[in-house]
């Protein structure tokens, strides 16, 4: 009797913990750190790729899972003395499930390949969009970010960018590995000591975008936040001009 009480409580506790774990990410879906909410051209592109992958993966999940369940029921042994039909191979089926995934994976690979340059470096060089690109150097160190603007001045922790302008970012670190990511503005990129990495962000509308260091870098990792303010070009120019540093 006592044992069943303990078992019941354990089951309830496990159920609550499981439900909590399922619900914990919910606030993220509404926040501006969810890349699926879009935010600008690069993130819209990432979302497109994500959705194509999600659709393909869902079709595979439903198709394979459905086939397993169907086969388990349809071809089950119905009585103890019955031996279900034994199948030892099917060349056409095997060819189909080899070629099918190959074609899907090749298509997804090409989809990634044609977009990775854009997500790393922004619009194609020579195009009008590329000509207005602004370059900002991002330097990570324990435990804050420094943003260097084209005029040589810099800001700490908060980056101001003009809206609807592609921003080419180069990242580096002065100590350990950090990770720069503002999920609504572009792809995640590591900031490494001794190596310069490139990424591209762009805000599609004015506002404040949040990010943080995405590589555990020490005891102050949680304070290594990023605030990006997307403002008009006039406000941006005035901001960088009036930076004292
Ligand atoms: Cu860090």
In this predicted complex, what is the ipTM? Answer: 0.92
Cross-strand pairs, 140: 145, 173
> What's the CA-to-centroid distance between 6 and ligand 1, angstroms?
44
> What's the CA-to-centroid distance between 176 and ligand 1, angstroms?
8
| pLDDT confidence of residue 238 | 95
> What's the CA-to-centroid distance between 1 and ligand 1, angstroms?
53
> What's the CA-to-centroid distance between 189 and ligand 1, angstroms?
12
Per-residue pLDDT of the chain (245 residues; tens, 9 = 90+): 455 577 788 888 898 888 888 877 666 655 677 888 888 999 999 999 999 999 999 999 999 999 999 999 988 888 888 888 888 889 999 999 899 999 999 999 999 999 998 888 888 888 888 888 999 999 999 999 999 999 999 999 999 999 999 999 999 999 999 999 999 999 899 999 999 999 999 999 999 999 999 999 999 999 999 999 999 999 999 999 999 87
Provide the 10 A C-beta neighbour count for residue 204: 17
The Cα 44–Cα 37 span in angstroms is: 9
> What's the CA-to-centroid distance between 235 and ligand 1, angstroms?
29
Peptide bond into 143 cis (omega under 30): yes
Backbone angles phi, psi at 23, to 5 degrees: -85, -20
Please answer whether residues 121 and 96 qualify as being in contact, where contact means their C-beta atoms are separated by less than 8 angstroms: no
> What's the CA-to-centroid distance between 210 and ligand 1, angstroms?
15
> What's the CA-to-centroid distance between 230 and ligand 1, angstroms?
23
> What's the CA-to-centroid distance between 177 and ligand 1, angstroms?
7
Which superfamily, per CATH, for 38-79+90-245? Cupredoxins -  blue copper proteins (2.60.40.420)
């Amino acid at each position: 009797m006592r044992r069943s009480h303990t078992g019941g409580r354990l089951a309830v506790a496990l159920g609550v913990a499981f439900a909590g774990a399922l619900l914990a990410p919910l606030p993220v879906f509404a926040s501006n750190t969810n890349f699926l909410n879009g935010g600008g051209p690069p993130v819209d592109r990432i979302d497109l790729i994500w959705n194509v992958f999600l659709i393909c993966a869902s079709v595979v999940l439903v198709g394979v899972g459905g086939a397993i369940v169907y086969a388990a029921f349809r071809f089950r042994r119905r009585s103890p003395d019955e031996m279900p039909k034994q199948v030892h191979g099917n060349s056409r089926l095997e060819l189909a499930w080899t070629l099918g995934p190959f074609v899907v994976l090749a298509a997804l690979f090409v989809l990634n390949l044609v977009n990775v340059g854009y997500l790393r470096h922004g619009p194609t060089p020579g195009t009008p969009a590329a000509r207005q690109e602004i370059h900002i150097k991002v330097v990570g160190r324990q435990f804050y970010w420094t943003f260097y603007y084209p005029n040589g001045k810099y800001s700490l922790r908060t980056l101001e960018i003009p809206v609807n302008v592609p921003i080419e970012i180069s990242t580096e670190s002065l100590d350990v590995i950090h990770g720069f990511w503002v999920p609504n503005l572009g792809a995640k990129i590591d900031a490494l000591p001794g190596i310069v990495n490139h990424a591209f962000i762009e805000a599609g509308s004015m506002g404040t975008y949040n990010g943080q260091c995405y590589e555990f870098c020490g005891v102050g990792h949680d304070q290594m936040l990023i605030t990006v303010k997307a403002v008009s070009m006039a406000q941006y120019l005035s901001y960088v001009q009036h930076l004292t540093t």
